[in-house]
Structure 1
Amino acid sequence: MRRRTVLSAAALAACTSAVHAHGPDSHAGKKAPARKEQKPWGIAGDARAARRSIVVSMGDDMRFRPDRIELRQGETVRFEVRNTGKLLHEFVIGTREELDAHAALMLKFPNMEHDEPYMAHVDPGKTGEIVWNFNRAGTFEFACLIAGHYQAGMVGTIVVLADASPRPAAR
């Protein structure tokens, strides 16, 4: 029993080290400058580098529109995330494994507060924003991790196609 408690505490500490407390303003889409930390799905982008904006709506039917987005590796995108529902929703980018782990934590700790540059918490009727540079090719996901929303299928897919620009020949 003690081993399980120690492991649970260690797992919680590891997960919460990546989760930062925030104030009420972050739910309104106001964010401090993004920390530039490389993730498997990219890195926080510079708004001036965004050449494309994608509007994503999320509603109380537990769906995103669109629910599939295709991008090119190296592209910096501004996501305008609109909450068309009456419930709080969020838009979190990550790998399936990261989102699964975070969603499990949110079920255990539904009032857990967090704020990262790859997530936007959006109050009903409001719009949030994420600027992200997809510097790695692959298939990633976005989801609402509010307790129960992810489990209800509030998930979408981001496909980042490998940069097709020609490479200099090796000498």
Structure 2
Amino acid sequence: MFPLEVVKLVAVDFSYKPSEIYIKKGTPTKVTFKNEGNVEHDFELVSDEDILIQTTSSTNHQHGKTAAKKVHLHAKPGETATVVLKATAAGTYQFYCTIPGHKESGMVGRITFL
């Protein structure tokens, strides 16, 4: 069994730091999402069920949508949200902010599981 990895992801207006993340597949990883911006932001990881959510992530968007079977974290300014996940396969997956206009303004990134 692999030790728990920790990834810190920060949202600012309108980008993520870092925007590219590399994680070893099969490794349980705690993603800590902190909003240091001035407006609400979220983090949604797009996958085809290759990523197992090992703790609860919020599938309810604060702007009325849902993210069933997706990794989704939401944080208002100054807030932090976390999830533990594990990828079962290698691959590169996009993440983005689902709040209207944020993705289009550049709030996108990639996680690569090696």
* TM-score, normalization by structure 2: 0.78
Aligned amino acid, residue 113 of structure 1: K
Give yes or no for contact 1:50–1:131 (8 Å, CA) kept in 2. Answer: no
- Please give the alpha-carbon distance, in whole angstroms, between the structure 2 residues aligned to 1:73 and 1:126: 28
Between the two structures, name the one with larger relative contact order (CA 8 Å, sep ≥ 6). 2
RMSD value, Cα: 1.9
Partner residue in 1 for 2:4: 51
TM-score by length of 1: 0.53
Q: Distance in 1 between matches of 2:100 and 2:10?
A: 19
Identity, in percent, stands at 28
Say if 1:147 and 1:89 are closer, same or farther in 2 by CA, change over 3 A: same
Residue 73 of structure 2 corresponds to which residue in structure 1? 120
Instruction: Give runs of aligned pairs for residues 55-70 of structure 1, distance below 5 A.
Output: 55-60=8-13, 62-70=14-22
The whole-number CA distance in structure 2 between the counterparts of 1:70 and 1:111 is 29
Kindly indicate whether residue 29 of structure 2 is the aligned counterpart of residue 77 of structure 1: yes
Change (3 A) 1:111 1:80: closer
Amino acid in structure 1 at the alignment position of 2:96: A
Residues 96-137 of structure 1: CA distance to partner in whole angstroms, max 9, x if unpaired?
Answer: xxxxxxxxxxxxxx9323255610010110001121111111
The size of the alignment, in residue pairs, is 98
Equivalent of 2:42 in 65, 90, 108: 90
Contact 1:50 1:78 in 2 (8 A): no
Q: List structure 1 runs of 4+ shifted beyond 3 angstroms.
A: none
Which of 1 and 2 has greater Rg?
A: 1
One of 92, 109, 113 as aligned partner of 1:156:
109
Structure number with higher strand proportion: 2
| DSSP-derived class of the 2:28 partner | strand
Q: Flag structure 2 segments of 5+ consecutive residues without an equivalent.
A: 48-61
Q: Give the helix-richer structure, 1 or 2.
A: 1
How far apart, CA to CA, are the structure 2 residues paired with 1:68 and 1:58? 13
| Cα distance in 2 between the residues matched to 1:56 and 1:111 | 21
